[in-house]
Structure 1
Amino acid sequence: MRVLGLDLGSVTCGVAVSDMMGMVARGVLTLRFPADDYAKAAELVKEQIEEFQVKTVVLGLPKHMNGDIGIRGEICIAFKERLEAYGVEVVLWDERLTTVAASRILIAADVSRKKRKKVIDQMAAVQILQSYLDRKG
Structure 2
Amino acid sequence: MKEPSAVHGRILALDFGTRRIGLAVSDPLGITAQGLQTLLRKNKRTDLAALRSVIEQNEIREIVVGLPLRLSGADSSSTEKAREFAAWLEKEFALPVHMWDERFTSVEANRVLRESEMSIKKRGEAVDRLSAVLILQAFLERRGIDREEPLSS
Same fold (TM over 0.5): yes
Q: Secondary structure at the residue paired with 1:71?
A: coil
1:108 matched to 2:115: yes
Spell out structure 1 runs of 4+ moving beyond 3 A. 37-40
Aligned residue number for residue 22 of structure 1: 30
* Identical columns (%): 36
Aligned residue number for residue 18 of structure 2: 10
Query: Offset of 1:131 from its aligned partner?
Result: 0.5
**Aligned-pair RMSD on alpha carbons?**
1.4
Tell me the TM-score normalised to structure 1 length.
0.92
| Bigger-Rg structure (1/2) | 2
Q: Secondary structure at the residue paired with 2:30?
A: coil
Tell me the TM-score normalised to structure 2 length.
0.83
For structure 1, the 5+ residue unaligned runs are none
In structure 2, what is the Cα distance between the partners aligned to 1:45 and 1:93? 19
Query: Offset of 1:39 from its aligned partner?
Result: 5.3
Q: Secondary structure at the residue paired with 1:55?
A: strand
Q: Is the 8 A contact 2:21 2:128 kept in 1?
A: yes
1:126 matched to 2:140: no
Q: Check 1:69–1:43 CA distance in 2 against 1; reply closer, same or farther (3 A cut).
A: farther
Letter in 1 for 2:20: T
Query: Offset of 1:44 from its aligned partner?
Result: 2.3
1:72 matched to 2:95: no
Q: Is the 8 A contact 1:42 1:82 kept in 2?
A: no
